[in-house]
């Protein structure tokens, strides 16, 4: 015999799966009213507000859920996400500890070295998977030069979800892809599209090396691979999506610099080393604010 709270909660879960957030919220509220000591409807309310990016409510309902059930790992995680979105670092640290991560108390943002992590930026618009430096369980800094359609730039810091949404290969190891939730910090780097003529592999590796030495973001956009949704959210395979070589002689690069003159200086240095190379075109495609 199902209690009313269980019935309301099940109804809410079905509505949530259909992305009917308001109706789902109503059912979870009824479930919580019917069984206020049961943590699950509170966690689910937190989920509704997470989907809406309403962080104060998401924080509050997950606090309620973990107060009732301190073993609810999902609620600790979503509490960590909400606290991070709000910049409440003390609460974020408490949440990660509650989840089981060894992290000290404090009022400053955690800085953990969690390794290179693929993040799907702009997941509901123009999704693009980029490599990031993960700063803590919910924050990642973009290390690629994203295309301007994504609305993101090199070194932006994004808030991301904790549920794997696909896998990518990192030196033979499969690592999970996480979906971005929102932009937390907009970087001072603008995005440039640069068309260069570089026939030899050495020309291109020299450009990359010199750019990195100058802290200029660089990516070969001619080698970008477009994936279907199924592969992107699963595991990309070469048979379905052959990897473009990006070999040139004409190559399209995405570059990121804080000032256009940084790029001119880079190209001068590069052409001294590789005199046969040419810069055909350079355009700022996404200016920093
Ligand atoms: Zn595919």
CB atoms within 10 A of CB 247: 15
239 C-alpha to center of ligand 1: Å?
9
- Give the model's confidence band at 76: pLDDT under 50 very low, under 70 low, under 90 confident, else very high: very high
Residue 192 exposure: Cα atoms within 13 Å on the Cβ side: 21
238 C-alpha to center of ligand 1: Å?
9
Rounded to 5 degrees, φ, ψ at 93 are -65, -40
The length of the chain, given as a count of residues: 289
Q: Residue 280: enclosing H or E segment and its boundaries? A: strand 278-286
In which residue are the tokens 């909400």 written?
A: 82
226 C-alpha to center of ligand 1: Å?
9
Residue 249 preceded by cis peptide, ω within 30: yes
Residues 224-258 have pLDDT tens digits of 988 888 889 988 877 788 888 888 789 999 999 99
107 C-alpha to center of ligand 1: Å?
44
234 C-alpha to center of ligand 1: Å?
9
User: What confidence score (pLDDT) does residue 247 get?
Assistant: 85
146 C-alpha to center of ligand 1: Å?
21
227 C-alpha to center of ligand 1: Å?
5
235 C-alpha to center of ligand 1: Å?
9
Bigger pLDDT: 147 vs 1: 147
Query: Which residues of 85-216 form beta strands (DSSP E)?
Result: 116-121, 128-136, 139-142, 157-160, 167-170, 173-176, 178-185, 190-197
In which residue are the tokens 């479930």 written?
A: 31
230 C-alpha to center of ligand 1: Å?
6
196 C-alpha to center of ligand 1: Å?
30
With 0.85 as the threshold, say if the pTM is over it. Answer: yes
163 C-alpha to center of ligand 1: Å?
21
Assess contact for 58 and 66: CB atoms under 8 A.
no
254 C-alpha to center of ligand 1: Å?
24
pLDDT tops 80 at residue 1? no
179 C-alpha to center of ligand 1: Å?
18
Residues 139-177 have pLDDT tens digits of 999 999 999 999 999 999 999 999 999 999 999 999 999
Alpha carbon 111 to its chain's center: 16
184 C-alpha to center of ligand 1: Å?
31
Residues 187-207 have pLDDT tens digits of 999 999 999 999 899 999 999
User: What confidence score (pLDDT) does residue 248 get?
Assistant: 78
Question: In order of start, what are the domains of the chain with their CATH numbers?
Answer: 4-99 (1.25.40.10), 116-185 (no CATH), 190-286 (3.30.70.260)
What separation in angstroms does the CA of 154 have from each of 131, 158, 198, 237? 10, 11, 24, 26
User: What confidence score (pLDDT) does residue 289 get?
Assistant: 87
C-alpha to C-alpha distance for 253 and 222, rounded to whole angstroms: 7
- Name, in order, each residue with C-beta under 8 angstroms of 196's C-beta and a sequence gap of 6 or more: 207, 248, 250, 251, 253, 277, 278, 279, 280
241 C-alpha to center of ligand 1: Å?
6
Rounded to 5 degrees, φ, ψ at 209 are -60, -45
Strand pairing report for 250-257 and 190-197: antiparallel
23 C-alpha to center of ligand 1: Å?
34
Assess contact for 243 and 225: CB atoms under 8 A.
yes
CB atoms within 10 A of CB 39: 20
Q: Which two tokens stand for residue 123?
A: 């997941």
Among residues 83, 99, 217, which one has the least CA distance to residue 159? 83
Residue 236 exposure: Cα atoms within 13 Å on the Cβ side: 19
In which residue are the tokens 């001072």 written?
A: 188
């Amino acid at each position: 015999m199902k209690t009313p709270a269980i019935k309301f909660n099940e109804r809410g879960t079905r509505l949530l799966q259909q992305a009917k957030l308001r109706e789902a919220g109503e059912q979870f509220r009824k479930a919580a009213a019917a069984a206020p000591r049961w943590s699950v409807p509170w966690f689910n309310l937190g989920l509704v507000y997470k989907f809406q990016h309403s962080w104060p409510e998401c924080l509050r309902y997950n606090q309620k859920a973990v107060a009732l059930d301190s073993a609810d790992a999902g609620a600790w995680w979503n509490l960590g996400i909400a606290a991070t979105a709000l910049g409440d670092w003390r609460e974020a640290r408490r949440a990660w500890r509650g989840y089981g991560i060894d992290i000290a108390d404090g009022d400053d943002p955690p800085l953990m070295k969690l390794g290179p992590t693929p993040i799907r930026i702009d997941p509901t618009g123009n999704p693009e998977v980029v490599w990031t430096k993960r700063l803590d369980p919910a924050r990642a800094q973009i290390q690629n030069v994203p295309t301007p359609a994504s609305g993101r730039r090199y070194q932006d810091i994004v808030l991301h979800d904790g549920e794997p949404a696909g896998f990518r290969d990192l030196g033979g190891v499969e690592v999970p892809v996480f979906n971005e939730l929102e932009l937390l910090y907009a970087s001072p780097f603008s995005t440039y599209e640069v068309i260069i003529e570089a026939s030899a592999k050495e020309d291109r590796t020299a450009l990359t090396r010199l750019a990195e030495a100058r802290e200029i973001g660089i990516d070969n956009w001619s080698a970008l691979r477009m994936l279907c949704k199924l592969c992107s959210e699963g595991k990309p395979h070469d048979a379905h999506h052959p990897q473009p070589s990006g070999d040139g002689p004409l190559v399209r690069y995405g570059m990121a610099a804080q000032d256009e003159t940084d790029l001119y200086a880079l190209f001068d240095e590069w052409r001294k080393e590789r005199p046969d190379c040419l810069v055909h075109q350079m355009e700022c495609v996404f200016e920093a604010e």
